[in-house]
A and B are shown apart, each in its own frame.
Chain A
Amino acid sequence: MNQREKEQYLREYMALKSAGKPFFPYAVAKDSLMACVVMAAIITMSLVLGAELGPKADPTTTTYTPRPEWYFFFLFELLRVIKPAELVPLATIGVPTICMILLFLLPFYDRGPERRPERRPIATATGIFVIAAMGFLTYKGAESGPPTQIDMPTPKAVIAQGPQFTALYEKGRQVVAQSGCEACHKFGDNGNDGPGPQLTHIAKNLPRQAIARTLVNPTAPMPSFQALQQKDPAKFNAMVTFLSQLK
């Protein structure tokens, strides 16, 4: 904005302002009504949702799945998505710091006199993109289940084969969930997408025999489940049964 544009803005603003109404009571009335809405929202949430405490802090746990408050989900998901170890400082402090600096300096690199959003396509598009990205990351962070359980519904085909088979399937689900498979594989909403392939529909591509073979004799870095097959064949069988039903 050069001097002429600055002066023109101030003139226009003075004209609009002199055509306006006093802050009190016209704007204050709106503000106070809004404050009532805000308080109604807070009180309703407090009454409906309460303020339950979680379990007491326990640093010795090995089973708890830490999750942040919802408004930090976008940061949480950012940390999950950025996988390579060299890029960890970028995810933890790099990206947030850069975003903060960009926010602080916004009035200094966006100096155009135009204020209407439809005539500032770059700024408007960037703003919408940032909001969409944060919304998307928040959504992804919110729905990521703990990697020690699999929340997929039991398929109808399994239930149709009788309660015994269903029990075997459920046992297999438990074994798979507790064996750490989800560290590298994704099952529905649980687990990490990579480095291993998604297993949500693995049985479509691999028959039962092939799944068992892969578990015993996998390609690195996947660990072999040969020890499990020899020590506890029932568990191994349940695992293969579960995986071969993921269609």
Chain B
Amino acid sequence: MPDRRITKSKYTADRGMPGAFDGETVTRRRFMTGTAHTAGAISASAFLLPALGFAMGPIFEKKEESWQDVGPVADFPDDNYVPKTITISSGIGEVGKSTVYMRKHNDAIDGKRKDEYDGFVAISTRCMHLGCPVSYKSAAQRFICPCHGGVYDFVGRVDGGPPVRPLDRFYTRIRNGQVQIGPRFSVNQELRRFSPRDPGEALDGIGQYLYPSRPSIRKIPNT
């Protein structure tokens, strides 16, 4: 292989070119090379960048906050869960729905109420390991995941298996005697609220910095 590292002087005058003058570095050939590269880059990015932006757009689009009725207050006991079906994404029918397990807030289990959004406990059925559908087993008072063996206790905290954080919850409120269910939020092992994260993303320790919240979905401010 020839040694390409031998460099000539960058000054045209040093290379003995006809018509060179002192201090000139850009020859006609160098100028045309630069033009070819620049024009090529501009024309390629003219279709690549808009396409990329088009595909990435949804990352920055904020999801609308919506509330939906799930039933009257009397439907929900405070020592057992009732499954309810809610719509998560609209426009795709059955596939946009999900199941939540709901019960009334119980001071003995959940501690004192903090604000208007925690009158009811609404637990998501997405396993926080990788998103499989968990089910509530009332005999054992546990949430069980069928995929990789995650187990959660009565309030949704991790009891065993690989899940990285407690089951996600939903905001709830009462309007006109109806319990309403709102946006999802994530909780850490102390059940503190965080903006929604995807399954598999830890929130304890440095987890909340490793997996930042996304602009597309946030918790209700100041809650």
Contact = CB atoms under 8 A, between A and B. Distances in A.
Whether the complex brings A and B within 8 Å at their CB atoms is answered yes
Interface of A: 56-66, 76, 79-80, 82-86, 88-89, 91-92, 146-148, 175, 178-184, 192, 195, 221, 223, 225, 227-228, 235
B78 interface: no
Given A59-B95, A85-B164, A223-B141, 17 more contacts: A59-B88, A59-B133, A63-B133, A63-B135, A64-B146, A76-B147, A79-B147, A79-B162, A85-B163, A148-B135, A179-B137, A180-B140, A183-B144, A183-B151, A184-B151, A221-B160, A227-B141
B139 A178 contact: yes
B134 A62 contact: yes
A13 B158 CA distance: 61
B202 A85 contact: yes
A21 B133 CA distance: 59
Contacts of B119: none
Contact of B129 (A88, A192, A227): A88
Interface in B192-218: 200, 202
Contacts of A76: 147-148
8 contacts: A61-B133, A65-B146, A79-B129, A85-B158, A85-B162, A88-B202, A183-B150, A223-B140
Contacts of B73: none
Interface in B87-141: 88, 94-99, 125, 129-130, 132-137, 139-141
A228 B142 CA distance: 13
A12 to B, nearest CB: 22
A89 B200 contact: yes
Nearest to B128: A85
Contacts of B95: 57, 59
Contact of B200 (A84, A92, A182, A192): A92
A91 B163 CA distance: 12
A192 B161 contact: yes
A60 B161 CA distance: 23
Chain B's interface size range is: 35 or more
Interface of B: 83, 85, 88, 94-99, 125, 129-130, 132-137, 139-142, 144-151, 153, 158-165, 200, 202
Contacts of B137: 178-180
A178 B144 CA distance: 10
A62 B162 contact: no
Contacts of A192: 149, 161
Contacts of A92: 130, 200
A62 B140 CA distance: 16
Nearest to A225: B139
Given A61-B133, A62-B135, A62-B136, A84 B162 contact: yes
B200 A88 contact: yes
Interface hub of A56, A79, A180 (most chain B Cβ within 10 A): A180
Nearest to B97: A60
A228 B139 contact: yes
Contacts of B164: 85, 88
A180 B142 contact: yes
A175 B160 contact: no
A215 B128 CA distance: 28
Given A66-B132, A89-B200, A181-B140, A80 B149 contact: yes
A90 to B, nearest CB: 11
Nearest to B147: A66
Contacts of A228: 139
A227 B136 CA distance: 16
Nearest to A89: B200
B146 A66 contact: yes
